[in-house]
Chain A
Amino acid sequence: MIERSGENPAGTAHESANEFSTGTTIVALGGDDGVVLGADARVSLGGRFVTNRSARKVEPIGERAAVAFSGGVSDAQSVVDQLRTERQLYKLDHGRPMPTDALATTAGRLIRNGQFRSIGLLLGGVDESAVYWIDGGGGVMRDAYAANGSGMQLAYGALEGAYEPARPVSDLRPIAADALAAAAERDVASGDGMTITTITGEGLSERRTNGLGREALAGADGASSAPDTADEEVA
């Protein structure tokens, strides 16, 4: 995640540096009982100065889906807020929870039509064993697993060898943690800690750590939230 450097008018050196590079490493893995999303915890200014070492870059969208983001902080916060709004309105208008594919389509549309320029998302939800890769132009692609952000090549390399389809989320969490550790090892804009979010039929749980890799994850307490009672239908 790259922080925008203040009030630079469009077209300055800082602006273009922000526009073309996205910090962060994010990963998403689909399993047979749910999905795992992970992100590092570093926020930097153009990959040159670390402005935050404990950022949360996986945000729940209700209790049944979550989105991991890379790119500008302001774009990411805005897109997360708008996704939550769209989810809630969908649920109220249709009397059922918003499916993950509809959420991914909406995220793509927000980026395509909106003012967001430097952002990359990964989205996963409980009703699918796949994840969605959403790029800075609003393109949406469904995949078994995905990585995004400046450390994505390193993360993909780690995931390529370790990921296997139809595994339980308990097996996928360490794989996600290791992929983030591999990326943080060489990518300047990634590191400092992790957020690992798991979504299953039981609900959404989040683990945050100060270190990286599966050992750091094993020592972290899981904070889980109860299933969304508001999903109950009303006539």
Chain B
Amino acid sequence: MDDTRRQAYDRGQTIFSPDGRLYQVEYAREAVERGSPAVGVRAADGVVLAARKRRASPLLEADSVAKLHRIDDHIAIASAGHAADARQLVDRARVAAQRHRLRYGEPAPVESVTTSLADHIQESTQTGGTRPYGTALLIAGIDQNGAGGSTAQSGAGSAGQLFELDPSGTPYGWRAVGIGEGSTTIRESFESSLDPAAADIETTVDDAVTTALDGLAADDDEPDPDAYECLTIEPGPKVTTRSTDEIATVLEETAS
């Protein structure tokens, strides 16, 4: 398609192109692809999130760049793409999790926080005067016994739940996934290190941490542990942030 025809469909994300595409949503995916990456891996006894931060300058305080966000005692989110857009979604997720607690007196199932965010993101692709979110999210967590029993993920012998949300507002469930820069390489790394044929997930959270950091490092020539973040969510719920030292140890083992 030539540039002049295409421009008309660029103007609003609420306008389809003749071949049925929403260019603004695709450009938003492009924004995600340019963001520093984040990964999620499910284990038998929990779920892992990890991310790599980009430091524009050594003077920039690394702690002020947030890629992993707590949502509730049992849920966390990793983001890639526009950080400012991600913050809005994170805030929304926190309120959604608390609203579920207030309304039903139980922790929110991970899937219901995901779908409530998905509903909101989708709205931004269909409402006049808005632009889509330039961010993708990985929503990870632990469901209370019995909750989330209808999801496909609860059947696979894993306590952890892991969903991806892209700028179109479509939720996907994953066993292991990467978003952001180099996500294709990262996903290939997961596809080769995990056995998709295995019906049940048997890996431990510690194994999953290695898999996650491995995947992130697959697209990183000189992994710098200070640029990596990692957290695990286990039944309890127990959320643990892995220290830079622990991350460095795993990265060294991977490199050798």
Contacts and interface: CB of A to CB of B under 8 A. Distances in A.
Interface of A: 81-82, 84-85, 88-89, 92-93, 229-230, 232, 234-235
Contact of B101 (A84, A93, A234, A235): A84
Contact of A234 (B68, B95, B236): B68
A92 B70 contact: yes
Nearest to B93: A92
Contact of A89 (B94, B236, B239, B240): B94
Interface in B92-108: 94-95, 98, 101-102, 105
Contact of A85 (B91, B102, B241): B102
A110 to B, nearest CB: 12
| A-B CB proximity, top 7 nearest | A85-B98, A235-B63, A230-B73, A92-B94, A234-B70, A81-B102, A92-B70
Q: Which of A82, A88, A92, A229 has the most chain B CB atoms closer than 10 A to its own CB? A: A92
Interface of B: 62-66, 68-73, 76, 91, 94-95, 98, 101-102, 105, 229, 231, 236, 238-241
Given A229-B238, A234-B241, 19 more contacts: A82-B102, A85-B98, A85-B102, A88-B72, A88-B73, A88-B94, A88-B101, A92-B71, A92-B94, A93-B94, A229-B236, A229-B240, A234-B69, A234-B76, A235-B62, A235-B63, A235-B64, A235-B68, A235-B229
A235 B69 CA distance: 7
A189 B62 CA distance: 57
B242 to A, nearest CB: 11
- Would you call the interface of chain A mostly helix, strand, loop, or mixed? helix
A229 B70 contact: no
Contacts of A235: 62-66, 68, 229
A230 B73 CA distance: 6
Given A229-B239, A235-B66, A235-B68, A89 B231 contact: no
28 contacts: A81-B102, A82-B102, A84-B101, A85-B98, A85-B102, A88-B72, A88-B73, A88-B101, A89-B95, A89-B98, A92-B71, A92-B72, A92-B94, A93-B94, A229-B236, A230-B70, A230-B73, A230-B239, A232-B239, A232-B241, A234-B68, A234-B69, A234-B76, A234-B231, A235-B62, A235-B64, A235-B66, A235-B229
A84 B229 CA distance: 29
Nearest to A233: B241
A89 B68 CA distance: 16
A228 B229 CA distance: 22
A89 B99 CA distance: 11
Contacts of A85: 98, 101-102
Nearest to A87: B98
Contacts of B98: 85, 88-89
Contacts of B72: 88, 92
A84 B103 CA distance: 13
Nearest to B101: A85
B181 to A, nearest CB: 20
B252 to A, nearest CB: 22
A72 B215 CA distance: 55
